[in-house]
Chain A
């Protein structure tokens, strides 16, 4: 039953949403460029994590005569350097942010807006990615010089990678956002969030390339979404996945995004009913 009037309104809705994203992202880019030092400090903090993993695993690789589970020191270097870029992209609004919003009673304002509040957070963080990317380039250059990665990728790898890092962002953002909604019921989201991070660490390829995990753990990881937020984008660029595996991965990532979106909308609708403004 799509009457012409409705079609026009639908079209207007899409256009205004696109417009909204463009504007919010631009604002976020400008706001964050004003605080480059903060972004740089943040990045140094996040880059230490993969550098530590890299150092540990290349030490192990060397002591084992060159490789761990078939991965050489140079390949570890490539993996963890790409890791740093994926990390900038999959960074999203955390449950801590939600806890703060709820405590401060900030959600009331969000509820008054005509569009779903998820869009606001997605757009804001998407804009930040561009700032993070520019700050990342020199950092990555230093890492490449220091750790001498084995880099070897083709055009298809790059194309899939570019899509997959945005997919990783949307997927992880949706998961964390949904998790953050738990704050509507309890103001203690930290333990749940930390549990999520633990699972992510072990099952996404964040800690180590998944081949290094014991077989059974790799099996579990394959049937969950975590790896599409870390391991899959990284391996699309530096792993040796076939064309079919690359595209299949993208499709599965999209499926998981769809599922996460569904879960998010469902929880959001219930959460709003739960909401009573605190304070003001």
Chain B
């Protein structure tokens, strides 16, 4: 924990040197949000409900998706990309020789704090959507939301870790980032709209739909306890599996000299 904070402080200090980046990030966030809102507006100009979700509920889902995306882009993706580079170039030695847990270290040593702008934006959209939704959001809903959001973030992190660990076997996998980004777009819509096989794929194979839809269900008071419990079990299992795979990958790593 102390190590994590230390590394993040370092990353923050590093990025604070480049203040102009903040404005670029802000501009990019505006574009990203503009795109998402335009799409939602377009869909709802043709229909009132999408598979039982109305416009504001879908807006809440969009907020959750963007907030989680910001979190992943800020804290997870840069670290995973660095992990893959290090495996390819053999510079992972510097991590492995340190006397701390390797998974912890590869996870925290790289961050892009400006991307947290998206988290703020996503939460703003979510907040606005909630005030427009007519049903009141109770304390239970709010608690459920925070908990499932945390579980969702855990799932997405574990999924990225598994993808990045593939670098130990297949060396050239630049496309992994594209793959994640592509799949992540599925999370913008409630998982229920996908046909059966795809829905199962997006729940268990790639936990993206699950990770985003469940918190959005919580905040729109439509979460059933089974989904919540399922999310809990699944997040734990996925985290453990990802850790096992990462460890197993490490045994394949042969270092810079090879």
Contact = CB atoms under 8 A, between A and B. Distances in A.
A234 interface: no
Interface in A184-213: 188, 190-191, 194-195, 198, 201-202, 207-208, 212-213
Given A45-B180, A146-B195, 15 more contacts: A38-B175, A42-B175, A42-B178, A45-B182, A51-B198, A52-B186, A52-B188, A55-B189, A55-B194, A56-B193, A59-B51, A68-B46, A194-B31, A194-B32, A198-B35
Contacts of A198: 31, 34-35
A201 B39 CA distance: 10
B46 A45 contact: no
A194 B179 contact: no
Interface of A: 35, 37-39, 41-42, 44-49, 51-52, 55-56, 59-60, 63-64, 68-69, 146, 188, 190-191, 194-195, 198, 201-202, 207-208, 212-214
Interface residues of B, number: 38
Interface string B20-34: 000010011001101
B179 A42 contact: yes
B182 A48 contact: yes
Contacts of A44: 179, 182
10 contacts: A45-B178, A49-B185, A52-B186, A55-B195, A56-B189, A59-B50, A59-B51, A60-B46, A60-B47, A63-B50
Contacts of B193: 55-56, 59
A35 to B, nearest CB: 6
Nearest to A39: B175
Contacts of A195: 31
A48 B10 CA distance: 36
Interface of B: 24, 27-28, 31-32, 34-35, 38-39, 42-43, 45-47, 49-51, 170, 172-176, 178-183, 185-186, 188-189, 193-195, 197-198
